[in-house]
Chain A
Amino acid sequence: METRPLGATGQESTVATFGAIALNWLEQEGANQMVEHVLDHGVNHFDVAPTYGDAELKLGPKLRQHREDIFLGCKTQERDYEGAAHKLERSLDRLGVDTIDLYQIHGLEYESELDEITGDDGALAAIREAKDDGKVDHVGLTSHGNPGLIRDAIDRIDDLETLMFPLNPVVAGKDDDEHDYEAVLERAEEEDIGTLGIKAFAKGSWPPTSDLPEKDRPYANWYEPVDTPEEIRDRFDFAASQGLSTVVTPGDPKLVSMVLDAAGRYDGMDEATQRSLVEQSRHDDSPVPEQLHH
Chain B
Amino acid sequence: MAGESPSQAVPETVETALADRLVEGRVCLEAGAGVGNATAGLLAAGAERVYAVTDDPDHAATVRDRCDDATDRLVVVEADLRQTPLRPDSVDLVTAHGLCNLLDPAALAAVAAELSRVATAGCHLVVDDYEPLPESAAVRDLFAVENAASELATGRSALTFYPASLLRRLFTGHGWTFDRETTLLDPVPWTASHLSAHAGVVTDATEDLPPELGDPLERRAERLAEAIGEEFAGTMYSVAMTRREGDETP
B157 → chain A closest CB, angstroms = 14
Question: Is B136 an interface residue, CB under 8 A from the partner?
Answer: no
Closest to B4 in A: A176
Question: Is A284 an interface residue, CB under 8 A from the partner?
Answer: yes
From 190 to 241 in chain B, residues with beta carbon under 8 angstroms from any chain A beta carbon are 191-194, 196-198, 200-201, 230, 232, 235-236
Which residues of B sit under 8 angstroms from A284, Cβ to Cβ? 191-193
Interface stretch, picked from A218-226, A237-245, A267-275, is A267-275
Are B6 and A292 within 8 A (Cβ)?
A: no
Are A289 and B13 within 8 A (Cβ)?
A: no
A204 → chain B closest CB, angstroms = 12
Question: Residue B188 contacts which of A282, A287, A289, A294 (CB distance < 8 angstroms)?
Answer: A294
Question: Is B112 an interface residue, CB under 8 A from the partner?
Answer: no
Are B4 and A275 within 8 A (Cβ)?
A: no
On whether A173 and B9 interact (CB within 8 A), knowing A273-B187, A277-B189, the answer reads: yes
Name the residue in A278, A285, A293 with the highest tally of chain B Cβ atoms < 10 Å from its Cβ.
A293
Which residues of B sit under 8 angstroms from A187, Cβ to Cβ? none
Question: Residue A176 contacts which of B1, B34, B98, B188 (CB distance < 8 angstroms)?
Answer: B1
Which residues of B sit under 8 angstroms from A271, Cβ to Cβ? 16
By size class, the interface of chain B is: 35 or more
On whether A294 and B4 interact (CB within 8 A), knowing A276-B232, A279-B11, A284-B193, the answer reads: no
Are A287 and B6 within 8 A (Cβ)?
A: yes
Are A292 and B236 within 8 A (Cβ)?
A: no
Are B189 and A272 within 8 A (Cβ)?
A: no
Contact mask for chain B residues 10-54; partner A; CB cutoff 8 A; 1 contact, 0 none: 111100100000000000000000110100000000000000000
B14 → chain A closest CB, angstroms = 9
Question: Residue A272 contacts which of B7, B34, B192, B235 (CB distance < 8 angstroms)?
Answer: B235
Closest to B40 in A: A175
Question: Residue A279 contacts which of B13, B183, B192 (CB distance < 8 angstroms)?
Answer: B13
Interchain CA distance A170-B114 in the complex, whole Å: 38
Closest to A273 in B: B186
On whether A290 and B184 interact (CB within 8 A), knowing A175-B10, A176-B1, A282-B6, the answer reads: no
Interface residues of A (CB under 8 A from B): 172-176, 178, 270-273, 275-280, 282-285, 287-294
A-B complex: 3 closest residue pairs judged by Cβ atoms: A280-B189, A175-B9, A293-B98
Query: Could you show 18 A-B contacts with beta carbons less than 8 Å apart?
Result: A173-B9, A173-B11, A174-B9, A175-B4, A273-B187, A276-B189, A276-B232, A278-B11, A282-B9, A283-B189, A284-B191, A288-B6, A289-B35, A290-B193, A290-B200, A291-B35, A291-B193, A292-B98
